[in-house]
Chain A
Amino acid sequence: MLDILASIVPTVLFFSAPLIFTALGGVFSERSGVINIGLEGLMVIGAFVGIIFNLTFADVFGNFTPWISIIVATIVGALFSAIHAVASVSFRADQTVSGVAINMLALGVGVYLTKVWYGKGQTDMVAEPFNSTNIPILSDIPIIGPIFFEGIYITSYVAIIVAFIAWFVLYKTAFGLRLRAVGEHPMAADTNGINVYKMRYIAVLISGALGGLGGSVFALTIVSNFSHSTIVGQGFMSLAAVIFGKWHPLGAMGAALFFGFAQSLSVVSTGIPLLEDIPQIYLLIAPYVLTILALAGFIGRADAPRANGIPYVKGSR
């Protein structure tokens, strides 16, 4: 039993980390009232930037390269999401349409530049990806150590810490209260002197930053190169985690962990009693079916922020 846990927990954390980051981004954006279908594209941009930066500067930064790569990817992700912010907040474009365009644009730009710079549709493998490590001291704790702190990617713990920070920001600070108010009832928020447009811009930029971070972590831990098939659906799965987690940061984290679990099962289920009998197809579609069931109210009710998806027009009722 312990062996099984020691093999499965690190895998779950490994698959979940990118989903957690990106889903948290989705929570910020949607809590402010801006639907973000573009999470997938933001992850693509993050993965692209993370890999390219890593390939280019591996010699300069050595062991720090993956960390600097994800920071750069975070910044570029935020910048890229500004397109979504301008279109959906200022220009009142349909947020779903804008998100779809973000997805197309990100993949187009990523693969286009890859081909221009490398002459092929796929980059080389990076020299400095993230590697799994044993966390000193903690991994020596009996029972818990081998399960949670051996052969682990530090980024997984960063993701969980960020989830708690996101919860604190959204629920324990004035900024978070304002952001949620804007997503529930923008007119009331506006009446109270909150700048609705500004809050929504900030929220979308945060979602871009976290989406970029998630994409780069995915690329630098799981695939190690960039091509058109680096990010295939992880962004949409993160979006599912946002909803399955009921638009709550910790809920989204839990959902992302669960989806990571489902993904990891399709990898490590052989050898685990009971689970190895479940056909892989059920594990593959589980995240999506569960999200639909959650939305339909079969697994508790999932209600979106009231003003989600509605552009705010100052002075209109």
Chain B
Amino acid sequence: MGQVIQMTSNNRLFGILVPIISVLLGLLVGALIMLVSGHNPIEGYTALWNGAFYDAFTIGETIRRITPLILTGLAIAFAFRTGLFNIGAEGQVIVGWLAAVWVGIAIEAPMIIHLPLAIIAGALAGGIWGFIPGILKAKLGVHEVIVTIMMNYIALFVSNEIVRSVLTEHKTTTEKIASSASLGSEWLQSITFYSRLHYGILIALFAAAVMWFVINRTTVGYELKAVGFNRHASKYAGMNVSKNIVLSMVISGVFAGLAGVMEGLGTYGTVSVISGFTNLGFDGIAVALLGANNPLGVVLAAILFGVLKEGAGEMPSAGVPTELVDIIIAIIIFFVASSYIIRWTLTRFKKEGK
């Protein structure tokens, strides 16, 4: 027991251990599932590894897969810091994607204007989609979880309708964006055997740095965190709680909107009618949780989940359905979420020990 107490007394170490243990347990459960369903876990995980890292092409595709996950992870983590749960990243991704491609198609301009404009359009659209639940929460006390879920579906159906009726004439996919609005990079493609890797990864990493700076080094970030810790105390201290809630949801929406931009201007260059969600937003919840809502953690968690998701594509070669990875991710979430009881128990022991 003495060792355990020492471990918890070092909170930082414990904060790192929980996610690592959760991931290992998740992979272990994944291996057990493969065993039970008659597959060879070693072959399965080898295929997963190869699917993510086999050659320059797969590595390029893996980085492409990681890019939007970093941004949706940041989106959810940012809102979490203010005590808000943004389940609406999914819808914010969709509107961001739509807006960016719309600008990419409709406007003609030199790249130096066109590309930033398209990116800003996507970010703004996501921000607006975050503003609505934010203002409803701040002014009317409406729970943001429900509103953001509803906003997801509104985004899905509205986006589909706009693709079908406004951007095309009853087609399911728009034309490609102008090359002046594309994040695509011939150089990045050529060094990765023409994967769809694009410059978006730089934007994603920059966004992570921005979040770190805002949260840790600015007054705004301090207030956002304070509101997250204790709404009433923040109000008593003279902070404008409503403003901070709205701001947090807007910034969160902007990050998610940028994730949509990555897909719209980077990976696909088009926007299509979709029958279901992209799941980028929901996976972002997993990323934020595992990354403990801190920017560096989010980047690391996004890398892990990006690798798992991209590698999953190769698992059928070992006879294992790709969905195994979804199961593993769900289990990791359960372990991380439930780890609070472990943490709580251990700290309690520690207090009593004194």
Residues of chain A at the chain B interface (Cβ within 8 Å): 35, 37, 83, 87, 90-94, 96-98, 100-105, 107-109, 111-113, 115-116, 121, 228-229, 232-233, 236-237, 239-240, 243, 279, 281, 284-285, 287-289, 291-292, 295-297, 304
When the two chains form their complex, are residues A295 and B333 in contact, meaning their CB atoms are under 8 A apart? no
Shortest Cβ distance from B279 into A: residue: A104
When the two chains form their complex, are residues B333 and A104 in contact, meaning their CB atoms are under 8 A apart? yes
How long is the Cα–Cα vector from A297 to B147 in the complex, in angstroms? 13
Q: Within 8 Å CB of A103, what residues of B?
A: 282
Q: Within 8 Å CB of A279, what residues of B?
A: 161
When the two chains form their complex, are residues A115 and B323 in contact, meaning their CB atoms are under 8 A apart? yes
B136: contacting residue among A90, A281, A292, CB under 8 A: A292
When the two chains form their complex, are residues B157 and A284 in contact, meaning their CB atoms are under 8 A apart? yes
A49 to chain B, nearest CB (A): 16
How long is the Cα–Cα vector from A240 to B143 in the complex, in angstroms? 13
How long is the Cα–Cα vector from A237 to B146 in the complex, in angstroms? 11
B165 to chain A, nearest CB (A): 8
14 contacts between A and B (CB under 8 A): A87-B334, A92-B344, A100-B282, A101-B337, A104-B329, A107-B323, A108-B329, A115-B321, A239-B146, A281-B157, A284-B161, A285-B153, A288-B151, A289-B154
When the two chains form their complex, are residues B150 and A288 in contact, meaning their CB atoms are under 8 A apart? yes
Q: For the complex, is B338 an interface residue (Cβ under 8 Å from A)?
A: yes
When the two chains form their complex, are residues B340 and A91 in contact, meaning their CB atoms are under 8 A apart? yes
A100: contacting residue among B87, B136, B158, B321, CB under 8 A: B87
When the two chains form their complex, are residues A105 and B331 in contact, meaning their CB atoms are under 8 A apart? yes
A286 to chain B, nearest CB (A): 10
B87: contacting residue among A83, A92, A96, A116, CB under 8 A: A96
When the two chains form their complex, are residues B323 and A108 in contact, meaning their CB atoms are under 8 A apart? yes
When the two chains form their complex, are residues B340 and A297 in contact, meaning their CB atoms are under 8 A apart? no
**With contact pairs A243-B146, A288-B154 given, residues A87 and B337 touching in the complex (Cβ less than 8 Å):** yes
CB 8 Å contact bits of B26-67 with A (1 = contact, 0 = none): 000000010001100000000000000000000000000000
Q: Within 8 Å CB of B1, what residues of A?
A: none
What are the 9 closest A-B residue pairs judged by CB atoms, nearest first? A108-B326, A105-B330, A115-B321, A93-B337, A108-B327, A104-B330, A288-B150, A101-B333, A91-B338
Shortest Cβ distance from B324 into A: residue: A112
A295: contacting residue among B147, B329, B330, B341, CB under 8 A: B147
When the two chains form their complex, are residues B323 and A100 in contact, meaning their CB atoms are under 8 A apart? no
When the two chains form their complex, are residues B337 and A97 in contact, meaning their CB atoms are under 8 A apart? yes
B159 to chain A, nearest CB (A): 10
When the two chains form their complex, are residues A98 and B337 in contact, meaning their CB atoms are under 8 A apart? yes
When the two chains form their complex, are residues B282 and A104 in contact, meaning their CB atoms are under 8 A apart? yes
Shortest Cβ distance from B135 into A: residue: A296
When the two chains form their complex, are residues A101 and B158 in contact, meaning their CB atoms are under 8 A apart? no
**With contact pairs A239-B149, A288-B154 given, residues A98 and B282 touching in the complex (Cβ less than 8 Å):** no
A102 to chain B, nearest CB (A): 8
Q: For the complex, is B142 an interface residue (Cβ under 8 Å from A)?
A: yes
A296: contacting residue among B140, B149, B285, CB under 8 A: B140
Shortest Cβ distance from A90 into B: residue: B341
How long is the Cα–Cα vector from A280 to B321 in the complex, in angstroms? 36
B334: contacting residue among A37, A98, A281, CB under 8 A: A98
Q: Within 8 Å CB of B145, what residues of A?
A: 35, 37, 96
B123 to chain A, nearest CB (A): 23
A105: contacting residue among B38, B149, B327, CB under 8 A: B327
B22 to chain A, nearest CB (A): 12
When the two chains form their complex, are residues A101 and B330 in contact, meaning their CB atoms are under 8 A apart? yes
When the two chains form their complex, are residues A232 and B276 in contact, meaning their CB atoms are under 8 A apart? yes
When the two chains form their complex, are residues A236 and B326 in contact, meaning their CB atoms are under 8 A apart? no
**With contact pairs A104-B330, A296-B142 given, residues A112 and B147 touching in the complex (Cβ less than 8 Å):** no
Beyond the given pairs A37-B87, A97-B333, 15 more chain A to chain B contacts, judged by CB atoms under 8 angstroms and listed by A's residue number, are A87-B334, A90-B341, A103-B282, A105-B330, A112-B323, A112-B326, A236-B153, A237-B153, A243-B146, A281-B157, A281-B158, A288-B154, A289-B154, A292-B151, A295-B147
When the two chains form their complex, are residues B161 and A107 in contact, meaning their CB atoms are under 8 A apart? no
How long is the Cα–Cα vector from A168 to B329 in the complex, in angstroms? 40
When the two chains form their complex, are residues A295 and B136 in contact, meaning their CB atoms are under 8 A apart? yes
How long is the Cα–Cα vector from A13 to B152 in the complex, in angstroms? 26
When the two chains form their complex, are residues B150 and A291 in contact, meaning their CB atoms are under 8 A apart? yes
When the two chains form their complex, are residues A291 and B146 in contact, meaning their CB atoms are under 8 A apart? yes
How long is the Cα–Cα vector from A116 to B152 in the complex, in angstroms? 32
B82 to chain A, nearest CB (A): 15
Q: Within 8 Å CB of A93, what residues of B?
A: 334, 337-338, 340-341
How long is the Cα–Cα vector from A96 to B142 in the complex, in angstroms? 16
How long is the Cα–Cα vector from A90 to B340 in the complex, in angstroms? 11
When the two chains form their complex, are residues A236 and B149 in contact, meaning their CB atoms are under 8 A apart? yes
Q: For the complex, is B289 an interface residue (Cβ under 8 Å from A)?
A: yes
How long is the Cα–Cα vector from A83 to B85 in the complex, in angstroms? 21
How long is the Cα–Cα vector from A295 to B145 in the complex, in angstroms? 12
A11 to chain B, nearest CB (A): 20
A111: contacting residue among B289, B321, B337, B344, CB under 8 A: B321
CB 8 Å contact bits of B5-39 with A (1 = contact, 0 = none): 00000000000000000000000000001000110
How long is the Cα–Cα vector from A100 to B332 in the complex, in angstroms? 12
How long is the Cα–Cα vector from A297 to B334 in the complex, in angstroms? 34
Q: For the complex, is B219 an interface residue (Cβ under 8 Å from A)?
A: no
CB 8 Å contact bits of B184-203 with A (1 = contact, 0 = none): 00000000000000000000
CB 8 Å contact bits of B264-276 with A (1 = contact, 0 = none): 0000000000011
Q: Within 8 Å CB of B136, what residues of A?
A: 292, 295-296
How long is the Cα–Cα vector from A68 to B289 in the complex, in angstroms? 40
How long is the Cα–Cα vector from A116 to B319 in the complex, in angstroms? 9
Q: Within 8 Å CB of B344, what residues of A?
A: 92
A183 to chain B, nearest CB (A): 15
